[in-house]
Amino acid sequence: MRIATWNVNSVRQRLAPLLSFLKESNPDILCLQELKCEETAFPRMEVEDAGYNVVLHGQKTFNGVAILSKSPIEESTVGLPGFDHEGQSRYIEAVVSNGDAGVFRVASIYCPNGNPPDTPKYAYKLRFMKALTAHAFALLKLEEATVLAGDYNIIPEPRDAHDPSAWVADALFLPESRAAYRRLLNLGYADALRAATDDAGLYTFWDYQAGAWQKNKGIRIDHLLLSPQAADRLARVEIVKEMRAGDKPSDHVPIFAELA
């Protein structure tokens, strides 16, 4: 069972690389963030022709999340429970049944950026994370294989940034942001990448500016958090770094976990 997440940074602009990724990497489930389109503008026909069922929570110009699944989607939840999203489309959750692999609960999450930190945007980020933690705790009680996937807009540790000192005043790396991420882990979720490796220098985002990609000045902000039932089945994790070098790439790349 291969479950991937990717901040596509405009699904209509990234349709060709999206279809290429679906064909070549063949994920069973793909969580997308930052669709930047309403539901009626989503390229549903092309994605369904590639063999995927779709549920999405769209928004014009900004945000937007989706879950693509090769197997039937049995139920879905639109919007983060317990959070007043103020019209921002940042959370969708689905239950997917995959034959012998069993049932999986998967969420596609686009956490707020929070910058500048001295504005209401940062308070909004922390409120979102508080609601996400409460919901994540409730999901653990279901004792299901659950994957909370997405762009968390949080750099968990210094080793997750090429130059941590450049981020000390940024909302992605402030102590309160990192503490909010740790609270999810302390509930019992596992960071899939860190369950597989302790290596530094593993990134999922490179800015378009100042040659960040060419100089490998990246950060890791896209995460797959696994419930204990999912973590027990973890076989492999891969960051699909080469997607950043493609034609008209997103500034993020996909990361996927294989569950046995």
Residues 115/125, Cβ–Cβ less than 8 Å: no
Q: Render each residue's pLDDT in the chain as its tens digit; 260 residues.
A: 999 999 999 999 999 999 999 999 999 999 999 999 999 999 999 999 999 999 999 999 999 999 999 999 999 999 999 998 778 999 999 999 877 778 999 999 999 999 999 999 999 999 999 999 999 999 999 999 999 999 999 999 999 999 999 999 999 999 999 999 999 999 999 999 999 999 999 999 999 998 999 999 999 999 999 999 999 999 999 999 999 999 999 999 999 999 99
How far is it, in rounded angstroms, from Cα 97 to Cα 74?
A: 7
* Mean per-residue pLDDT of the chain: 96
pLDDT of residue 23: 97
pLDDT tens-place string over residues 16-41: 999 999 999 999 999 999 999 999 99
pLDDT of residue 28: 97
Q: Map out the domains of the chain as residue ranges.
A: 2-259
Q: Which residues contact 196 (CB under 8 A, 6 or more apart)?
A: 234, 236, 237
- The residues pairing with 250 across neighbouring beta strands, listed in sequence order, are none
Q: Which residues contact 119 (CB under 8 A, 6 or more apart)?
A: none
- The residues pairing with 67 across neighbouring beta strands, listed in sequence order, are 31, 55
Q: List residues forming the annotated binding site.
A: 7, 34, 151, 153, 251-252
Residues 235/260, Cβ–Cβ less than 8 Å: yes
How far is it, in rounded angstroms, from Cα 58 to Cα 41?
A: 9
Residues 69/94, Cβ–Cβ less than 8 Å: yes
Residues 132/80, Cβ–Cβ less than 8 Å: yes
How far is it, in rounded angstroms, from Cα 150 to Cα 230?
A: 16
pLDDT of residue 209: 93
Q: 91-97 and 145-151 as β-strands: parallel, antiparallel, unpaired?
A: unpaired
Positions marked active-site: 110, 151, 252
Q: What is the CATH number of domain 2-259?
A: 3.60.10.10
Report the predicted TM-score, pTM, of the whole model to 2 decimal places.
0.97
Q: Which residues contact 118 (CB under 8 A, 6 or more apart)?
A: none
pLDDT tens-place string over residues 184-220: 999 999 999 999 999 999 999 999 998 999 999 999 9
pLDDT of residue 101: 75
> What is the DSSP track for the chain?
-EEEEEE-S-TTTTHHHHHHHHHHH--SEEEEE---S-GGGS-HHHHHHTT-EEEEE--SSS--EEEEESS-EEEEEES-TT---TT---EEEEEEE-GGG-EEEEEEEE-----STTSHHHHHHHHHHHHHHHHHHHHHTT--EEEEEEE-----SGGGBS-GGGGTTSTTTSHHHHHHHHHHHHHT-EEHHHHH---S---SB--SSTTTTTTT--B--EEEEE-HHHHTTEEEEEE-GGGGGSSS--SB--EEEEE-
The CA distances from residue 258 to 142, 194, 250, in Å, are: 22, 14, 23
Q: List residues forming the annotated binding site for Mg(2+).
A: 7, 34, 151, 153, 251-252
